[in-house]
């Protein structure tokens, strides 16, 4: 079936994407504010993209689908994704933003080269996440008989460079305290170094998660059932920092920025205090384990790290929160 194209100004448009050009034609409207667009990528020149628009409007291009990548993302978001945890849903919404520029491309017209150009902007793990989300989208499109092949299987991922996580030394942690006096966001790194919190857990902390009387944080654990249910002990020295973070955080939490912005601030801090350039926010959890390992017994450390290894649980369940708090205060000062 030949689909006639009608736009308000009577013309399609072309835009440059990387080294190639894309043709964009409005072919209808979902509602008064959301157009349905037909797009075609990969033209070597703007003129060839305009010629395609002309041919499409003259009925020389036969199309059978107008369902876009955004259409199937929204379908996935409102269906299969609902069964995932809230943190996983948030994660996939972040992944979608990385590929949202392809939102108006019809799934049947999407090509490997176009997606690969976006994937190539990222390191292994973000690129892998894009490929995973794209696979979910294609499964819906295949079930809808819009496409026959899952394009994501043809996407190449960058090489994975795994490096050992580098903890901060005790001297570097003390330099963090000095840096904290002029850079309040350093308090987030200090909080992780003194509690063993993971970066993803810090982003979840709200006022209701904190009990300043018992000096614990609960309900923010990720990855394992053990971490989700266990309380995080907040030592005396870090309590004022936590209060300050809560006062200046956004949306009722302690984070003043989005995580991508915080990572940039973290890199700046690493440079200021003269730490190893390989240090990342996750280094703070390793720092906590390293500093505590010489000060407390293995069972106590396992509890403080909220380790879910069953054999370890049998040794440290008799430690209550007060005992753990004393252990941390004695070890970290």
Name every residue whose Cβ is closer than 8 Å to that of residue 281 and which is 6 or more positions away in sequence: 189, 192, 199, 262, 263, 266
Residue 304 to residue 235: CA distance in whole angstroms: 11
Q: Which of 153-157, 167-171, 303-307 has the lowest mean pLDDT?
A: 303-307
Please check whether residue 163 lies inside any domain of the structure: no
- Answer whether residue 157 shows pLDDT above 80: yes
Distances (CA, A) of 167 to 66, 118, 281, 298, 328: 51, 32, 10, 19, 18
Residues 188 and 221 in one domain: yes
For residue 9, pLDDT over 60 is answered with: no
Q: How many CB atoms lie under 10 A from the CB of residue 62? A: 9
Alpha helices in 255-320 (DSSP H): 259-272, 283-293, 298-304, 310-316
The tally of domains found in the chain comes to 3
Same domain, 94 and 239: no
- Looking up tokens 């330099």 gives 175
Q: Tell me which of 53-67, 93-107, 242-256 is least confident.
A: 53-67
Residue 82 pLDDT greater than 70, yes or no:
yes
What is the percent of the chain with per-residue pLDDT over 70, rounded to a whole number? 80
> What are the pLDDT digits (tens) for 216-262?
999 888 766 667 778 899 999 999 999 999 998 888 899 988 888 89
Residue 204 in any domain: the answer is yes
Looking at 3-12, 35-44, 101-110, 268-277, which range is the least confident one? 3-12
Q: Which helix (H) or strand (E) holds 240?
A: helix 239-248
The answer to whether residue 222 sits within a structural domain is: yes
> 266 vs 302, which has greater pLDDT?
266
Q: Is 197 exposed, middle or buried (0-12, 13-18, 19+ CB in 10 A)?
A: buried
Whole-model pTM: value is 0.50
181 and 307: one domain? yes
Is position 159 within any domain?
Answer: no
Count the neighbouring beta carbons within 10 Å of the beta carbon of residue 226: 18
Arithmetic mean of pLDDT, 196-213: 91
The tokens describing 1, both together, are 């079936």
97 and 197, same domain (yes or no): no
- Residue 154 is given by DSSP the state G
Residue ranges making up the domain that contains 241: 170-332
Instruction: Look at residues 125, 154, 183 and tell me which one is the last residue of a structural domain.
Output: 154
Residue 210 above 50 pLDDT? yes
Instruction: Examine the domain organization and report whether 41 and 100 are in the same domain.
Output: no
Please say if the pLDDT value at position 203 is more than 80: yes
Please report which confidence band the pLDDT of residue 29 belongs to, taking 50, 70 and 90 as the band edges: low
**What confidence tens digit (pLDDT) does each residue in 271-306 have?**
999 998 889 998 998 888 877 766 767 677 778 887
Same domain, 283 and 251: yes
Q: Which of 311, 292, 205 has the alpha carbon at shortest distance from 255?
A: 205
Residue 330 has pLDDT above 80, yes or no: no
Closest CA to 107 of 143, 137, 77: 137
Helical packing angle, 170-180 and 259-272, nearest 10°: 110
Are both 235 and 317 inside the same structural domain?
A: yes
pLDDT at 89 over 70: yes
Given 122, 154, 186, the domain boundary residue is 154
pLDDT at 189 over 60: yes
- Given a cut of 70, is residue 163 above it in pLDDT? no
- Domain shared by 118 and 29, yes or no: no
Question: Rounded to whole angstroms, how far apart are CA atoms 101 and 107?
Answer: 13
Query: CA 17, CA 65: separation in Å to the nearest integer?
Result: 23
**Are 178 and 266 in the same domain?**
yes
State residue 106 phi and psi, 5-degree precision.
-70, 135
pLDDT at 313: 34
What pLDDT does 331 receive? 65
Tell me, yes or no, whether 175 and 318 share the same domain: yes
On whether both 35 and 178 belong to a single domain, the answer is no
Supply 309's token pair.
């290894």
Phi then psi dihedrals of residue 317, to 5 deg: -65, -20
| pLDDT band (50, 70, 90) for residue 137 | very high
pLDDT above 90 as % of the chain? 30
- Cα–Cα distance measured from residue 112 to residue 118, given in angstroms and rounded to the nearest whole number: 10
- In this structure, are 209 and 229 located in the same domain? yes
What CATH code is carried by the domain that includes residue 147?
1.10.150.130
Q: Do 331 and 292 touch, CB atoms closer than 8 A?
A: yes
Q: Six-digit token pair at 222?
A: 């990720």
């Amino acid at each position: 079936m030949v689909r006639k194209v009608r736009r308000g100004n009577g013309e399609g448009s072309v835009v440059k994407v990387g080294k190639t050009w894309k043709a964009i034609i409005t072919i209808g409207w979902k509602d008064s504010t959301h157009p349905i667009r037909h797009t075609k990528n990969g033209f070597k020149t703007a003129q060839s993209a305009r010629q395609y628009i002309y041919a499409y409007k003259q009925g020389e291009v036969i199309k059978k689908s107008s369902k876009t990548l955004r259409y199937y993302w929204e379908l996935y978001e409102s269906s299969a994704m609902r069964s995932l945890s809230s943190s996983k849903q948030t994660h996939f919404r972040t992944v979608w933003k990385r590929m949202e520029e392809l939102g108006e491309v019809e799934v049947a017209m999407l090509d490997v080269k176009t997606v690969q150009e976006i994937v190539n902007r990222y390191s292994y793990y973000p690129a892998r996440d894009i490929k995973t989300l794209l696979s979910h989208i294609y499964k819906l499109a295949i079930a809808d008989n819009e496409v026959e092949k899952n394009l994501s299987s043809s996407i190449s991922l960058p090489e994975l460079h795994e490096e050992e996580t580098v903890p901060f030394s005790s001297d570097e942690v003390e330099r963090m305290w000095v840096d904290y006096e002029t850079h309040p966001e350093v308090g987030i790194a200090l909080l992780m170094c003194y509690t063993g919190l993971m970066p993803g857990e810090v982003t979840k902390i709200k006022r209701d998660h904190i009990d300043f009387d018992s000096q614990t944080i609960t309900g923010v654990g990720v990855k394992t059932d053990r971490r989700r249910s266990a309380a995080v002990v907040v030592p005396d020295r870090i309590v004022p920092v936590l209060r300050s973070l809560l006062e200046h955080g956004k949306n009722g939490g302690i984070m003043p920025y989005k995580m991508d912005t915080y990572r940039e601030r973290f890199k700046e801090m690493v440079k200021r205090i003269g730490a190893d350039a390989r240090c990342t926010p996750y280094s703070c959890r390793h720092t906590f384990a390293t500093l505590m390992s010489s000060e407390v017994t293995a069972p106590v450390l396992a509890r403080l790290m909220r380790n879910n290894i069953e054999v370890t649980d049998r040794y440290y369940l008799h430690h209550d929160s007060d005992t753990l708090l004393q252990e941390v205060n004695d070890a970290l000062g």
